[in-house]
Amino acid sequence: MKSAQGIFNSCFSFWYTGEGGIQTAFETFGKLDAIITDFRVVFHPKSKINTILKAEKGGQGVFQNLVASGKYAPDDAVFQYLSGKLVK
């Protein structure tokens, strides 16, 4: 998706295995211009590299009511789009 626009509500993402490299919960090929609410992410405990969001900087989008468990990159792109708290 280039510059994803849309409304995503009550979505979830989880993994059965820790194999396979980087686990990314939400990705857009460009800027994030979507509204994502009530999103739950469960990374596998054995995975090494996780990202909640992979997107270019500067979009108009927003993540609201985000719940994420497991380890994820501290420089994850989601932090520039986060509105409110990230519940761990």
Express each pLDDT in 38-80 by its tens digit. 999 988 888 878 889 998 888 899 999 999 887 777 778 888 8
Do 43 and 72 form a contact (C-beta atoms < 8 A)? yes
* The dihedral formed by the CA atoms of 19, 42, 81 and 36, expressed in degrees to the nearest 10: 120
What is the mean pLDDT of the segment spanning 21-42?
A: 89
Please state, for a pLDDT cut of 90, what percent of the chain lies above it: 31
* pLDDT of 2 strictly over 60: no
- CA–chain centroid gap for 87, Å, is 13
E strands, 1-88, in order: 5-9, 12-14, 23-31, 33-37, 40-42, 50-56, 62-69, 82-87
Say whether pTM exceeds 0.75.
Answer: yes
